[in-house]
């Protein structure tokens, strides 16, 4: 635990103050002589007068202005020995001095010391000083905490990170796979560095650029690259940092941000996750969040209001452009919308080359094969893939990343952690038939993607997996390809029924059925691939947004809905019968593949196709890279 003398001081201050006052009360007001001549016993004033009258008192010392006396007297009870008593004298006893003189008793008056007044003054000064010192350290320590009392006066100030020359360590050379977006943003950087190239032909600098795309595609990375390349002041902030629970704080922070930006123009403002503050106004039941709407209104005004913001370029990123307010998206505020989508095979190869710079790859590793194996992966997914492969390499104490680590890393990223293989049992054999059914049907269908690997090693929630590798980027999918995918997804269920009978069909095909049902319904309602004709019966829209999509209406009648259900069922039943026929016609090769899979637990695609080719003709498919 780290020692802090400030914390120690805060804990010891109260103890020191309390001890000081105890000491002051006990000793500060006591005269020095009285402490030296203190008596152990007390005597009443009446008994003291009796001793004086009896002549048994030898001396009297008066203290505290005559309020206390130390008396030496002879005590008859203990053999006439001289004892010392303390006597509390009344305030008004003028006759006492006369009586002591008459009896010839020696007495002395001791004046009061001024130490009590001095210590009292010091006590009155020390306590406020200690208290103020403790509060100073307390407030100084808490002022660094978010929302601490030291920041109360800065509550409406912008929390944007400001860099006069942003040194993010990221350049455009470090960004790969999104060349179109890079070109758009490089133009913005050129505009800042050499504005005369554009102003000479009447072009004006764009006021805002909105980066739109799925998570992990590189939107924030592009902003870091712009900051590293531009060489102008750079402000970065998240959309959630504008909105607070207190009314007016968000709008105040927007005003403060743009005020600082205008003082440092030309400059760049980057707002990450702008959908946190830029959602549509008036959305929701009973109205929206008024504080958030005030913040958005202020942002709209600052971006393109009465005064304008010459010299300020706003770059924002979001993965939910559908919920943004239309006033925010219009030209003049965000002049450009740059789509940062998942990369194609060429982009994935470039991204892998960037992330492989600091990795020790075995010479046998082909980045092109990895790029073909990973369709749909974003830049973040590919970076995570190579990192997982490096971790596996270190765990296995190898000197370089090999194809085995890459293959295992792909499986881990897509399907989850590797589980313990099942022992040879009925369940393992049933799972083997299920997975071989998927792979065999996919191999025998011409329009299906080639099988890449079949395994019985559990990953995540799956007890076995069959991987298919697309042979090319499939932007458009034909009707035959969709039916082939549905048939392949039903291959596992078909194998269970053909081999073990309808009574032994398991729940293993639950995920397959859910996936193929969605594909079949889209064929009917969105793509017009059914007997209902080329009709789009359902609009393609994202998630429901309250205030805009709350009221829904049916786009077709109940009779059409019944026909849609019938068409979906007809497509699925036709594909299921086709899958069962393929399994029945190739029963011998199915049994051999199952025995081999149980023995080896994993069969790669090339070996699988070679075995199938020994029993039947395998349709030719386009070549693809094999890991």
Element (H, E) at 381: helix 379-395
Cα 512 from chain centre = 33
365: its two tokens: 């590793």
Q: Locate tokens 């593949």: which residue?
A: 593
Answer whether 611's CB lies under 8 Å from 593's CB. yes
Give DSSP secondary structure letters for 68-95.
EEEEEEEEGGGTTEEEEEEEE--S--TH
Burial 47-78 (b: 16+ CB within 10 A, else e): ebbebbeeebbeebbbbbeeebbbbbbbeeee
Q: Residue 38: what are its φ and ψ, rounded to 5°?
A: -65, 145
Q: Residue 572: what are its φ and ψ, rounded to 5°?
A: -65, -45
CB atoms within 10 A of CB 17: 16
Answer whether 517's CB lies under 8 Å from 576's CB. no
Q: Is the dihedral of CA 551, 555, 560, 561 positive or negative?
A: negative
120: its two tokens: 């009292």
d(CA 265, CA 260): 9
Residue from 81, 71, 82 nearest 105 by CA: 71
Strand order across the 41-43 sheet = 41-43, 81-88, 68-75, 57-63, 106-109
539: its two tokens: 């609009």
176: its two tokens: 């790969």
Q: Is the dihedral of CA 469, 472, 476, 481 positive or negative?
A: negative
**Integer angstrom CA distances of residue 523 from 417, 475, 516, 555, 559:** 34, 16, 11, 17, 18
d(CA 264, CA 457): 59
Instruction: Decide the pairing of beta strands 81-88 and 234-238.
Output: unpaired
d(CA 316, CA 575): 46
Answer whether 172's CB lies under 8 Å from 280's CB. no
Give DSSP secondary structure letters for 254-320.
HHHHHHHHHHT-SEEEEEESGGGT-BPTT-STT---HHHHHHHHHHHHHHSSSS--TTEEEEEEES-
580: its two tokens: 């069962």
Residue from 269, 204, 262 nearest 234 by CA: 269
Answer whether 234's CB lies under 8 Å from 227's CB. yes
Which active-site residues does the annotation give? Answer: 435
Non-local CB neighbours of 347 within 8 Å, separated by 6+ positions: 176, 177, 178, 179
d(CA 335, CA 280): 19
Answer whether 137's CB lies under 8 Å from 13's CB. no
Longest Cα separation, the chain = 146
């Amino acid at each position: 635990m780290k020692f802090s003398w400030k914390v120690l001081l805060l804990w010891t201050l109260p103890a020191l103050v309390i001890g000081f006052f105890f000491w002051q009360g006990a000793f500060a007001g006591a005269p020095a002589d009285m402490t030296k001549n203190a008596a152990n016993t007390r005597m009443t004033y009446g008994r003291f007068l009796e001793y004086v009258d009896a002549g048994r008192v030898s001396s009297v010392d008066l203290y505290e202005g005559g309020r206390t006396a130390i008396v030496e007297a002879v005590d008859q009870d203990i053999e006439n020995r001289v004892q010392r008593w303390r006597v509390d004298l009344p305030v008004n006893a003028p006759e006492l001095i006369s009586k002591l003189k008459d009896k010839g008793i020696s007495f002395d008056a001791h004046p009061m010391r001024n130490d009590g007044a001095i210590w009292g003054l010091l006590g009155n000064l020390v306590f406020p000083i200690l208290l103020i010192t403790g509060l100073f350290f307390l407030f100084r320590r808490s002022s660094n905490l978010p929302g601490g009392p030291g920041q109360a006066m800065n509550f409406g100030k912008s929390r944007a990170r400001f860099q006069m020359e942003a040194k993010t360590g990221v350049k455009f050379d470090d960004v790969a796979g999104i060349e179109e977006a890079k070109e758009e943003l490089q133009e913005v950087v050129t505009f800042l560095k050499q504005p005369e190239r554009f102003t000479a032909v009447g072009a004006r600098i764009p006021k805002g650029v909105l980066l739109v795309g799925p998570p992990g595609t590189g939107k924030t990375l592009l902003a870091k690259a712009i900051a590293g390349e531009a060489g102008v002041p750079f402000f970065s902030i998240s959309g959630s940092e504008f909105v607070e629970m207190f009314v007016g704080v968000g709008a105040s922070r927007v005003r403060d941000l743009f005020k600082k930006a205008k003082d440092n123009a030309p400059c760049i403002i980057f707002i990450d996750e702008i959908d946190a503050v830029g959602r549509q106004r008036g959305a929701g039941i009973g109205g929206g969040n008024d504080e958030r709407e005030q913040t958005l209104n202020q942002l709209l005004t600052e971006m393109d209001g009465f005064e304008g913001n010459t010299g300020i370029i706003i770059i924002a990123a979001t993965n939910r452009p559908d919920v943004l307010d239309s006033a925010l998206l219009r030209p003049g505020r965000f002049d450009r919308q740059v789509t940062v989508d998942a990369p194609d095979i060429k982009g994935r190869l470039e991204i892998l080359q960037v992330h492989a710079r600091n990795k020790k790859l075995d010479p046998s590793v082909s980045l092109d094969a990895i790029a073909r194996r990973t369709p749909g992966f974003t830049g973040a997914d590919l970076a995570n893939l190579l990192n997982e492969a490096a971790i596996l390499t270190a765990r296995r104490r190898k000197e370089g990343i090999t194809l085995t680590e890459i293959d295992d890393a792909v499986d881990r990223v897509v399907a989850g952690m590797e589980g313990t293989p099942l022992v040879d049992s009925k369940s393992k054999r049933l799972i083997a038939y299920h997975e071989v059914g998927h792979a065999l049907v996919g191999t025998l269908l011409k329009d299906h993607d080639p099988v890449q690997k079949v395994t019985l090693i559990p990953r995540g929630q799956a007890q076995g997996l069959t991987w298919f590798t697309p042979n090319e980027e499939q932007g458009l999918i034909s009707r035959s390809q969709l039916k082939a995918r549905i048939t392949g997804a039903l291959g596992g269920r078909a194998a269970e029924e053909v081999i073990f009978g309808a009574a032994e069909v398991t729940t293993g095909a639950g995920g397959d059925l859910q996936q193929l049902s969605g594909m079949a319904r889209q064929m009917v309602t969105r793509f017009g691939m059914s007997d209902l004709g080329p009709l789009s019966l359902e609009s393609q829209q994202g998630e429901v947004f309250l205030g805009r999509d709350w009221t829904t209406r049916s786009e077709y009648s109940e009779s059409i809905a019944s026909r849609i259900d019938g068409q979906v069922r007809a497509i699925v039943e036709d594909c299921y019968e086709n899958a069962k026929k393929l399994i029945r016609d190739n029963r011998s090769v199915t049994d051999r593949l199952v025995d081999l899979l149980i023995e080896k637990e994993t069969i790669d695609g090339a070996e699988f196709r070679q075995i199938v080719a020994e029993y039947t003709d395998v349709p030719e498919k386009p070549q693809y890279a094999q890991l």
